Amino acid sequence: MNPFKPTLFILFTTFILTAGNIQLDFPYFTTTNTATNITFIGDSSLRNRFVSLTKSTTFSTGSIIYNKPISLFDILTNTTSSFSTMFSFSITNPNNPTSFGDGIAFFLSPNNISSLSSSSSASTFGLPTNFVAVEFDTRFDRRFNDPNENHIGFNIDTLNSMKIVDPIYNGIDLKSGNTITSWIDYKTDVNSLSVFLSYSPIKPRDPILFVTVDLSEYFRGNDGVYVGFSASAEKSTELHQIQSWSFYTVGFEPARPRLRSHNVSDNSVTVSTGNEVHVNASRPHSRSHSFSSKKRFGLGFAVAGPVLFCVVFSLLGYYSFMKWKGVRKCTLKNFGTGFVAYPREFNYRELKSATREFHPSRIVGHGSFGTVYKAFFISSGTIAAVKRSRHSHEGKAEFHSELSIIAGLRHKNLVQLLGWCVEKGELLLVYDFMPNGSLDKMLYKEPERGKLLSWSHRVNIVVGLASVLVYLHQECEQRVIHRDIKTANVLLDGNFNPRLGDFGLAKLMDHDKSPVSTLTAGTMGYLAPEYLQYGKATDKTDVFSYGVVVLEVACGKRPIEREGTKMVNLVDWVWGLYSEGKIIEAVDKRLNGEFEEEEMKKVLMLGLSCANPDSAERPTMRRVLQILNNEAVPFTVPKVKPCLTFSSDLPLTIDEIVSDVDDGEGEEFNTSQSMCEIKIEG
């Protein structure tokens, strides 16, 4: 391990101290939640809701540390606390992919902040004098007996690791540039430290590194330890980022009860357990051999009351159970028989605890039928997204639709369903958590996030979304029509790969069957003209929506936006520029010309091809993917946007529907609400 080896310090947004337990939760980093909690040392900084420990310059070193010491030893009970931590990180070198720095280290140290700051030099790669650390090393250094440039080690007060493993045997390359999640668990009852590692946010069953070690002496006599990370790049421009972090202690084992001698009767004993004292004293009394009528009545009521309560409670419980059983039975029937893997049924109490009782601070978005919460499962150290349905008939229908459809789908560009729950009158779905949120937030809220999607990321999103739609339309046993393709339903994982989600409006359809009329459902601006008119969902209506998303990604504009007093349709606007031979002017100005012009033109023209008002002229998604992969020639797009005539009028014109969005005079128009959810009888 190199002395320049990077070490990262991560701080927590939530600080909870209850019943001897501490929990720190930092799902992402902002200026607000790091100002009073984190000390940034060296080149470390806050970027795009991530903590960046190093800069893209050589000899860069940085650390961050949680400001308050954490107690891991209890003097009263003479016990050490167990602890667990989970964090997601990435190690990349965009300037020179073949050159790497030293890696990342998670550590605990009894040293105070001032000594940590003074010791954060390249010669010690940010580690204090005394430390317990787990290193994720990406540099081969003979001075520290490193086996190679890709290893994980456990260290105490020295850079020579006590135990080392190579994660490549588990398929993990620390220098891959992918987001990696690590779990570190220390169990004081068995004196063991385990390290788990995965590209997925799901905790593996077996640890990648296991060490038998007693840390009680290390923590004994200290007021607390400081927790953090550090990193350095030496001669490389390697970047080290922490994307999320959580840390919690399991608590202290109570001391055995101690008997104390007091001048009391034999029935009186004082028991001291930890910090609590319970006294059970019995006083001498005389027994009465007769009761008054009032006493008899009181005794009878005392006996009958609880019995009556138990009977009523049992009846209500039975009624609730049967009602829940009926909903659950209906849910199970929706699975069918041909699914790859049966999703897990979660316990309601577990989901409630993981979302802090569905606290508003855990809300990360809204799906087609309810609210989405971020859930942290302490027992497994994993993070997930929990979608909670609205209490309505429509909510139940969309819950069953999404559960029954997505449970049987498997594709790298789909949000993975982890499980479900039907309990306490709630309908809940559990998904993989996507740390970069939805595509629309990345496109339109970048100034506050400080992150601009690069052109390479945008192309990857367009290709990935096309790939999953090919799977849904042509490669599934039954064709799946999503019916709600939009940027809000495209989620981004830690590497900005697209994951299509929200199948609440999706429909299954046999490949050889024609579409039937249904309810027109979706979001204005993404709906194909024939779908609005006839209410018939087909694969070509999904293609139209995909085309709008492609134009959004390239242009950085919403499908319908207000410009002054007018509402501008994105497809019309881009087609107008194309008619004038100026289609390149539609490109998102925030890209500052950092794109290949021919590739950009191809993507813009592809978006117009898919958004053609004439469904017969739209390409299939397979053809779209072939065009993007340069395996097919792009479609010819007419210079003038085609016009269609329908046999009957819509219940509302497009202008009338859109005008409903801004019905408050004098109020500032919010472009984030410039699209309305509609349902029109077909």
Is residue 353 situated within a structural domain?
A: yes
Same domain, 582 and 502: yes
State the CATH number of the domain containing residue 348. 3.30.200.20
Same domain, 414 and 448: no
Instruction: Show which of 197, 231, 251 is a domain's final residue.
Output: 251
Same domain, 59 and 133: yes
Q: Which member of 185, 484, 493, 588 is catalytic?
A: 484
Domain count, the chain: 3
- Please report, rounded to a whole number, the percentage of residues in the chain having pLDDT higher than 90: 28
Same domain, 225 and 203: yes
Is residue 297 situated within a structural domain?
A: no
Task: Provide the pLDDT confidence category of residue 57 given band limits of 50, 70 and 90.
Answer: confident
Same domain, 521 and 539: yes
Its domain, for residue 518, covers 439-681
Q: Which of 534, 533, 549, 532 has its CA nearest to residue 624? A: 549
The better pLDDT of the pair 184, 6 is held by 184
The pLDDT mean for the chain works out to 75
State the CATH number of the domain containing residue 220. 2.60.120.200
Per-residue pLDDT at 303: 53
Question: Is 484 in the active site?
Answer: yes
Instruction: Show which of 206, 234, 251 is a domain's final residue.
Output: 251
- The 10s digit of each residue's pLDDT in 453-473 is 899 999 999 999 999 999 999
Per-residue pLDDT at 351: 93
- The 10s digit of each residue's pLDDT in 16-29 is 444 457 778 888 78
Residue 517 in this model has a pLDDT that exceeds 70: no
- The 10s digit of each residue's pLDDT in 135-161 is 998 888 878 888 888 899 999 988 888
Same domain, 381 and 501: no
Three-class secondary structure of residue 639 per DSSP:
coil
Residues 345, 480 contacting (CB under 8 angstroms): no
- The 10s digit of each residue's pLDDT in 189-247 is 888 999 999 988 888 888 999 999 988 877 876 678 889 998 887 767 788 899 988 88
Which backbone phi and psi does 138 adopt, to 5 degrees? Answer: -120, 25
- The 10s digit of each residue's pLDDT in 435-456 is 888 999 888 865 444 468 899 9
Same domain, 355 and 214: no
Same domain, 244 and 360: no
Residues 4, 143 contacting (CB under 8 angstroms): no
Highest mean pLDDT among 218-232, 324-338, 489-503: 489-503
Per-residue pLDDT at 511: 47
Task: Provide the pLDDT confidence category of residue 532 given band limits of 50, 70 and 90.
Answer: confident
- How many angstroms separate the CA atoms of 87 and 182, rounded? 6
Instruction: Show which of 188, 216, 251 is a domain's final residue.
Output: 251
Same domain, 479 and 357: no
Show the tokens assigned to 257: 């009860």
Q: In the predicted model, what is the mean pLDDT of residues 540-552?
A: 96
- The 10s digit of each residue's pLDDT in 389-419 is 765 555 566 677 667 777 778 889 999 888 8
Show the tokens assigned to 372: 């989405």
Is residue 1 situated within a structural domain?
A: no
The better pLDDT of the pair 604, 369 is held by 604
Helices 293-333 & 393-406, crossing angle to 10 degrees? 50
- How many angstroms separate the CA atoms of 418 and 398, rounded? 17
Is residue 8 situated within a structural domain?
A: no
Is residue 282 situated within a structural domain?
A: no
Residue 482 in this model has a pLDDT that exceeds 50: yes
Per-residue pLDDT at 394: 56
- The 10s digit of each residue's pLDDT in 81-120 is 899 999 999 888 766 666 667 889 998 988 765 555 544 4
Same domain, 658 and 518: yes
Per-residue pLDDT at 143: 81
Per-residue pLDDT at 114: 54
Is residue 7 situated within a structural domain?
A: no
Show the tokens assigned to 349: 């109490």
- The 10s digit of each residue's pLDDT in 547-583 is 999 999 999 999 998 887 788 999 999 999 999 999 9
Q: In the predicted model, what is the mean pLDDT of residues 35-55?
A: 83
Q: Which of 180, 231, 251, 187 has its CA nearest to residue 213? A: 187
Q: In the predicted model, what is the mean pLDDT of residues 302-321?
A: 56
Per-residue pLDDT at 680: 37
Is residue 660 situated within a structural domain?
A: yes
Residues 590, 452 contacting (CB under 8 angstroms): yes
Same domain, 103 and 141: yes
Per-residue pLDDT at 559: 94
Same domain, 428 and 444: no
Is residue 317 situated within a structural domain?
A: no
Q: In what order do the strands lie in the sheet with 269-273?
A: 258-259, 269-273, 276-280
Q: In the predicted model, what is the mean pLDDT of residues 42-48?
A: 84
State the CATH number of the domain containing residue 494. 1.10.510.10
The better pLDDT of the pair 170, 363 is held by 363
pTM above 0.85, yes or no: no
- The 10s digit of each residue's pLDDT in 254-267 is 433 433 333 333 33
